[in-house]
Structure 1
Amino acid sequence: MDIAGRLRAKMADANLNETQLGKKSGVPQPTINRILSGESASPRMPTIAKLAKALRVSPEWLMYGNGDDAFDSNVEATIGPTRYYEYPEISWVQAGVACEAMDLFNVGDFEDVHPSDAWAGPNGFWLKVRGPSMTSSNGMSFSEGMIILVAPGSDVESGQYVVAKLIDTNEATFKQFIWDSGRAYLKPLNYSFPTVEMDDTWSIVGRVVDAKWPRSVL
């Protein structure tokens, strides 16, 4: 059994779905989904430690299958030092002009400040997910109220998640970027919403490099 199988089995034992485990552990639901799907076969040890604690299993067993799955509350996993970065949470209106006006922001402009171990560049920022367009009933999902970390100016590949904006109005949106047959599209994860073809009226603000529930709802 691989890490995905061990994680899935313990989630079933605890009667937890991805979203519930994310809230209980503090690990973003998209990260849990990547582990379960096999996309992330070697997650970071801090992530494993959080999941193991939430599921009351040994981190070593969950990660490697070593020993038994017994949980020892008197033993803390040695996960090594982790470097964290802090980025401001800004509004969607600010996101639309982020590339041009980021140097004008001051502390009073921020909604909040959140940490991440993902590097989003010197001008990275968080946004709170609005609406259900990126909520899926299966697989990857970003529920309303989650926060996403945007790395402005990052290179984007097909299948990655981005914040894009309409150039004329600076109205920003969060979607999956798809490149197909020489054309670019902004695809929602909720099939009730339409996929939009990107033309010269759109531009990419940045790539999403992290997602999680804010501390207030964990």
Structure 2
Amino acid sequence: MDNWIALVKANMKDRKVTQGELAERLGMSQGGVGHWLNKRRVPSLADMNRVLEELGLGYLEVVQEVREKTSQASPPATQYNPYYRYPVSDWKGLCEIREERAAYGAARFELTDYHAQGDAFWLPVTGDAMTAPSGLSIAAGMMILVDPAITAEPGKLVVAQWANSAHATFRQLLEESGQLYLVPLNPTYPKQLFTDDCRILGVAVQATAKF
């Protein structure tokens, strides 16, 4: 609930939407919206998602978490934990989609508890360039969540594109002797110099595997 309130307030501020304007969009009173945002009343999941939709955050979704009871004598209170859904992109159309900031093509989404700072998207990992013999390893078939608003610092896993290439690449950004490189986690692949004609499309913030 607290995360949902923080998300709604932050987006209302960014979009310069008042409580009155939001209430009008929802077809309810300003006081009702105020009760939700001040935790005097708890909105239903449907209402929480309706608010996100009206704020242009329809790609996000709040779902209820179901947990096993810890005690028969004192059942846990209902918890509303926000889960966010982000679109699944693909490598073929990634660069064009990032330029247009469009609707991500087919409407396929995946859920996560990560609250993105930007227009995040999922990408399926292909190939074994990021499969390491030990330590951090991102294998083919896994999904990475990419957040374009995260600062690409040395050590981060990034999705990047060269100006003369229609394709993007997934590598670790590392600094050596004052120079940046895009380095695969698989040591059998060569590292690449990060030059001025290369841009970062986003930073990988999560990786998941499906079974």
Q: Could you say which TM-score interval applies, normalised by the shorter chain?
A: 0.5 to 0.7
SS at match of 1:192: coil
Deviation at 1:190, TM superposition (A): 0.5
Preserved CA contact (<8 Å) 2:69 2:76: no
Deviation at 1:211, TM superposition (A): 0.8
Preserved CA contact (<8 Å) 2:70 2:76: no
Equivalent AA in structure 1 for residue 84 of structure 2:
Y
Preserved CA contact (<8 Å) 2:144 2:207: yes
> In 1, distance between residues paired with 2:150 and 2:69?
43
Preserved CA contact (<8 Å) 2:145 2:204: yes
Greater share of helix: 1
Equivalent AA in structure 1 for residue 106 of structure 2:
F
Structure 1 or 2, whichever has the larger Rg, is 2
What does residue 179 of structure 1 align with?
175
What does residue 141 of structure 1 align with?
137
Deviation at 1:81, TM superposition (A): 4.4
Larger deviation, residues 164-173 vs 133-142: 164-173
Provide the TM-score with structure 1 as the length reference: 0.58
Deviation at 1:180, TM superposition (A): 2.6
Q: 1:177 to 1:166 in 2, by over 3 A?
A: same
* Structure 1 residue runs without a partner (length 5+): 1-72
Preserved CA contact (<8 Å) 1:127 1:148: yes
Preserved CA contact (<8 Å) 2:130 2:186: yes
1:165-186 per-residue CA deviation (whole Å, 9 max, x = no partner) reads: 1122231010101123321110
2:119 is the alignment partner of 1:123 = yes
Q: 1:111 to 1:196 in 2, by over 3 A?
A: farther
What does residue 83 of structure 1 align with?
82
2:193 is the alignment partner of 1:194 = no
Please list every run of at least 4 consecutive aligned residues from structure 1 whose deviation after the TM superposition is greater than 6 angstroms. Answer: 76-79
CA RMSD of aligned residues (A): 2.5
1:59-86 per-residue CA deviation (whole Å, 9 max, x = no partner) reads: xxxxxxxxxxxxxx87489796432110
Residue identity (%): 32
SS at match of 1:165: strand
What does residue 99 of structure 2 align with?
100
SS at match of 2:93: helix
SS at match of 1:143: coil
* Structure 2 residue runs without a partner (length 5+): 1-67
Deviation at 1:161, TM superposition (A): 0.4
> In 2, distance between residues paired with 1:191 and 1:162?
17
Greater length-normalized contact order (CA 8 Å, ≥ 6 residues apart): 1
> In 2, distance between residues paired with 1:121 and 1:170?
26
SS at match of 1:99: helix
Deviation at 1:117, TM superposition (A): 1.3
1:140-165 per-residue CA deviation (whole Å, 9 max, x = no partner) reads: 11110000000114211111100001
Preserved CA contact (<8 Å) 1:95 1:172: yes
Deviation at 1:209, TM superposition (A): 0.8
Aligned counterpart for 1:114 among listed residues 110, 116, 126: 110
Equivalent AA in structure 2 for residue 92 of structure 1:
W
Preserved CA contact (<8 Å) 1:124 1:150: yes
1:66-125 per-residue CA deviation (whole Å, 9 max, x = no partner) reads: xxxxxxx874897964321100111112222343112x225xx13721011112234110
